[in-house]
Amino acid sequence: MERIELGFMGIALVLMLIGVRVPIGAAMGGTAFVGIWAMMGWKPAVGIAKAVPFHLIGDWNLSAIPMFLLMGFIAVEAGLTRGLFGAARILLAWLPGGLASSTVAASALFASASGSSVATAAAFSRIAVPEMLDSNYNKGLATGSVAAAGTLGALIPPSVLMIVFGMLLDTSISTLFIAGIVPGILTAVMFLGLITVRCMLNPALAPKVQVKVTPEEKRALISDAWPLPVLILGVLGGIFTGLFTATEAGAVGAFLALVLALVRGRLNPGIMKRALVDTASGTSEVFMVMLGAALFARFVALSTLPDFIVGYFDGYSTFAVLMLICLLFLVLGAFLESISIMLLCLPVLAPLLVAHEVNLIWFGVLTIKLLEIGLVTPPMGMNVFVIKSAMGNRVTLGEIFKGVGWFIAIDLVTLALLIAFPALSLWLPEFMAN
């Protein structure tokens, strides 16, 4: 059998195994080992299976993943995220749909620290959604705003997805972090604009809520809310000014979270134990997937599949190639988890991107944006099911998907802007470089 045929069979087998719920790391790694064995024999397959994991895990850049996860878990467990929704509500309550807009603003900050869209959706489905429903907000608006806002953590740095992308395509993680800021803010602003316009045109979606807060309550909310913005600004400020690299920023962020938790008097052995256990668990999950993907990438390269794809799309324009890739990511995003999609697709697509001279920093931002959309796209939008699980019978899946549909539409508009105007992603990195 030809190597190219084995390559196509390998991809089909991985998708089939994922479809029957085999863990993606095992699906990719197992398929890769068998494929390399079929192409080169037993000893080369064993040799590659030994060498690739050692080379991958030995990469210093990967140390940023457990450190950023630890930063987020300490921030959440120690209550550094408390007061975000309350403080945002005070600032934005005057807007039409103010509670939903407050959710977007608070979720953006929370997601930046937690690094997990699912964790953000889970937290605010318990904090913000009940309050909006009790205020007679439209169920779709209340749940859709939380589901969509939870995705902001993937684009607004620090972002684990950006670290994985940088590792896979050998691009600067610091530059990716900087490139994600303007698109992240743009996405949040687009969400706020959508909520405001919809509620202006149809006030019944979000009845006006009078927020009366005493000066003492304001001070208490600000006191609860300030640690997280300080943490994020400290990490990003250090990267921007060159005090430390994106890899070192993870350790600095974890240390700052620890210091802030101590200053706030919210750190104890129980909290530290939970944060460490969650970090170890999360890191293990990510690394196992990456190990399988690294083996699969080697199998794909040996199968000559990338060369075949580059040749097949040789006559296509760069724009047409990008549109096909966007469509592929949107379809896969409806069924697969974000890291899995990157690890499955990028080793195959990398030579095609290089052949068309696509700016990889810009493409990295587009990739993260597409993965964000996948988190809320039916039928398997992960954030939607998290909210449904938290809310029980108060809302139906149909109501959540209907509400989030508006945010998917505005996200596609934002994606179109990022494609049409690459400067939205590249201006800030170029400015910082100069």
Q: Could you report the per-residue pLDDT of 293-323, keeping only the tens digit for each?
A: 888 888 888 888 777 787 878 778 889 999 9
Comparing 86 with 296, the larger pLDDT belongs to 296
**CA end-to-end span of the chain, whole Å?**
53
Same domain for 46 and 69, yes or no, is: no
What pTM value is reported for the model? 0.84
Only one residue has tokens 């630890």, namely: 70
Same domain for 139 and 124, yes or no, is: yes
Task: Looking at 226-359, list the stretches that DSSP marks H as alpha helix, in order from N- to C-terminal side.
Answer: 227-241, 246-263, 269-302, 305-312, 318-333, 338-355
381 is a domain residue: yes
Contact, 164 vs 339, CB < 8 A? Answer: yes
Contact, 146 vs 392, CB < 8 A? Answer: no
Comparing 119 with 326, the larger pLDDT belongs to 326
Which three-class secondary structure state does DSSP give residue 245? coil
pLDDT recorded at residue 407: 93
Residues above pLDDT 90, as percent of the chain? 13
391 is a domain residue: yes
- Print the domain residue range for 49: 1-58+293-302
**Angstrom distance (rounded) from CA 405 to CA 400:** 9
Residue 79 has pLDDT above 80, yes or no: no
Same domain for 170 and 115, yes or no, is: yes
DSSP for 30-86, please give it.
HHHHHHHHHHH-HHHHHHHHHHHHHHHHT-GGGGHHHHHHHHHHHHHHTTTTTTHHH
Only one residue has tokens 């040749």, namely: 311
Give whole-number Cα distances, 342 to 49, 163, 196, 325, in Å.
21, 11, 34, 12
- The DSSP letter of residue 122 is H
Q: Is the peptide bond before 130 cis (omega within 30 degrees of 0)?
A: no
273 is a domain residue: no
Comparing 329 with 297, the larger pLDDT belongs to 329
Which of these three, 302, 323, 350, is where a domain ends?
A: 302
Same domain for 26 and 90, yes or no, is: no
Same domain for 114 and 245, yes or no, is: yes
Mean pLDDT of 348-367: 90
Given pLDDT bands bounded at 50, 70 and 90, which one contains residue 412? very high
Q: Which of 251-265, 340-354, 418-432 has the highest mean pLDDT?
A: 418-432
pLDDT recorded at residue 107: 80
Residue 212 has pLDDT above 70, yes or no: no
